[in-house]
Amino acid sequence: MSPDHTTTTAVLPDSAGFLPPGLLSRLESSGPRYTSYPTADRFVEAHGPEQHMRALAQRAAGVGGLTGSGAPLSVYVHVPFCESLCYYCACNKIITKHHERGGEYLQLLDAEIRMWTQALGPRQGVTQLHLGGGSPTFLSDTELTQMTERLKAAFEWLPGIEASIEVDPRTVNEARLAHLKQLGFNRLSLGIQDFDERVQQAVHRVQSYGQVEALMKSARELGFQSINLDLICGLPLQTTTSFQRTLEQVIELRPERIALYAYAHLPQRFKAQRRIHSVDIPLPEVRLQMHAQAIAAFLEAGYEHIGMDHFALPSDALAQAKRQGRLHRNFQGYTVQPDGDLIGLGVSAISRVGASYCQNAKTIEEYRDALEQGQWPVVRGITLSRDDLVRRATIMALMCQGRLDFQALADAHLIDPRKYFAAELEALQNHAEQGLVTISEQAVEITALGWFFVRSIAAVFDRFLQLEGAREKFSKII
């Protein structure tokens, strides 16, 4: 067992001058990441294909939702396949080496795409496309070509589209990257998690620093606009010393964006995590120390904090959008795209249409059965109430702009925010005393320090989190 596992107290670094001692530990709790509100755990099976078709009809008619029929769309495609199992993973995935399953899956995706175009009309404009998984690069180059050609035929890829794909560094080389660029992808997200070999072996995902360095060099030579690296804090066998080396290596690679997630060990929910030995997981105070290390390292290296666990170089579009108040948030996380509807394609994918969310079946068998019967593969969702809409606007304003303007909220929803949220504003006084927000007659504003705790601030306005045990479903806020 490493020395870090026997540490009973941790001194949190404050070399960047932003982190009061003990603040991280005082505010540690679990909570949603708010890629939607209400969050997906609030979806119900009573919201199925019929409710989904009603929302689509309202969009097509330009009524009944927050966006009209001409508003640009975002498209997410879920590719669930992976060749090997990463023990930390909580994604909806299928582990297989049978690559012929990719071609079969594309036929199902094609059927779902046809249903969307029939419901909304052909050639709807798209400003954001994201391929996630699983591992989209499980598909062959030919299959990726077939998928993108089908998407381009069904939707109009508007000028300036942000087309991104999640890449497993173990499954691509320079030639494959060149093919992705030729298909129209301009952004990459590489799942790194940690560069320490012992940690990689403990989570069953081994990839060398040199391999990632070579891929990033190739991607930049090919002209990809932005590269994101995913890291996870709190993995088995991580120590403050080993994680510091990973941080230094990441900074040396200089990705445009960095996503730093806290590992949530929930083996009762995610079977793969049962292969991780609980004794190897860093103690909470050590994980907090590593998180603080990362914040200090990224700020010192010139990255800007976007919100929650996301960092970007000042020249990146995400950082520019935050400075200009144009930041938005959807199921892909922070985005520069305007707030609007999202088409989710594939197993477990979530869509947003106006004032409703819906989620596809989580297994290929259920997904296939619905499509073969000519039915939407929707199995659950939610239609937002008036209160949900008010709280969604409030939470997204805080998460994205860092400011809740009372007059703007009053004008948009015909309420008196100070009365409507009287209890929440009272509860927020604790955050104000910690220096995380300021509360005036005009607005709630998140301070520079408060941006690092924005999930905790937003959660104050989440009606569902007040339910007993609700927080236990989520990862740690810090």
Read off the pLDDT of residues 301-340 as tens digits, 9 standing for 90 and up: 999 999 888 999 999 999 999 999 899 888 888 888 878 8
Give me the mean pLDDT over the 113-139 stretch.
Answer: 94
The predicted structure's pLDDT at residue 60? 82
In three-state secondary structure terms, 199 is: helix
Q: What domains are defined for the chain?
A: 42-343 (3.80.30.20), 385-478 (1.10.10.920)
The predicted structure's pLDDT at residue 29? 61
Q: What is the DSSP string of 347-370?
A: TT-EEEETTEEEEE-SSHHHHHHH
The predicted structure's pLDDT at residue 180? 98
The predicted structure's pLDDT at residue 187? 96
Residue written as tokens 């929302």? 55
**Backbone Cα Rg of the chain:** 22
Q: Kindly list the strands in the beta sheet with 342-345, ordered across the sheet, starting from the edge strand earlier in the chain.
A: 304-307, 310-312, 257-262, 226-233, 187-193, 155-167, 124-133, 73-79, 342-345, 350-353, 356-360, 378-383
pLDDT exceeds cutoff 50 at 14: no
Give me the mean pLDDT over the 24-32 stretch.
Answer: 65
H helix runs in 397-439, sequence order? 406-413, 417-420, 422-427, 429-433
Cβ-contact 215, 190 below 8 angstroms: yes
Measured CA to CA, the distance from residue 37 to residue 235 in angstroms comes to: 28
The predicted structure's pLDDT at residue 24? 60
Residues in the annotated binding site for [4Fe-4S] cluster = 82, 86, 89
Cβ-contact 190, 228 below 8 angstroms: yes
Tally Cβ neighbours within 10 Å of residue 354: 21
Give me the mean pLDDT over the 172-185 stretch.
Answer: 97
The predicted structure's pLDDT at residue 63? 60
Tally Cβ neighbours within 10 Å of residue 3: 10
Cβ-contact 359, 381 below 8 angstroms: yes
Name the pLDDT band for 47 (thresholds 50, 70, 90): very high
Integer angstrom CA distances of residue 327 from 91, 157, 258: 25, 21, 16
Name the pLDDT band for 2 (thresholds 50, 70, 90): very low
Name the pLDDT band for 372 (thresholds 50, 70, 90): very high
The predicted structure's pLDDT at residue 451? 86
Cβ-contact 167, 137 below 8 angstroms: yes
The predicted structure's pLDDT at residue 371? 97
pLDDT exceeds cutoff 60 at 12: no
Measured CA to CA, the distance from residue 165 to residue 187 in angstroms comes to: 7
The predicted structure's pLDDT at residue 224? 97
The predicted structure's pLDDT at residue 307? 85
Question: Is the model more confident about 370 or about 471?
Answer: 370
Give me the mean pLDDT over the 148-166 stretch.
Answer: 95
Give me the mean pLDDT over the 209-217 stretch.
Answer: 96
| pTM exceeds 0.75 for this model | yes
Question: For all residues of the chain together, what is the average pLDDT?
Answer: 89
- Supply 206's token pair: 């081994």
H helix runs in 255-402, sequence order? 284-300, 317-323, 364-372, 386-396
pLDDT exceeds cutoff 80 at 278: yes
Burial of 63 (0-12, 13-18, 19+ CB in 10 A): exposed
Tell me what percent of the residues of the chain surpass a pLDDT of 70. Answer: 90
Name the pLDDT band for 25 (thresholds 50, 70, 90): low
CA atoms within 13 A on the CB side of 190: 30
pLDDT in tens, 405-419: 999 999 999 999 999
Measured CA to CA, the distance from residue 295 to residue 306 in angstroms comes to: 12
Residues in the annotated binding site for S-adenosyl-L-methionine = 76, 88-90, 133, 166, 193, 205, 230, 264, 350
Lowest-confidence range among 44-48, 177-181, 303-307, 473-477? Answer: 473-477
Name the pLDDT band for 28 (thresholds 50, 70, 90): low
Residues in the annotated binding site = 76, 82, 86, 88-90, 133, 166, 193, 205, 230, 264, 350
Give me the mean pLDDT over the 466-474 stretch.
Answer: 57
Residue written as tokens 């050609």? 149
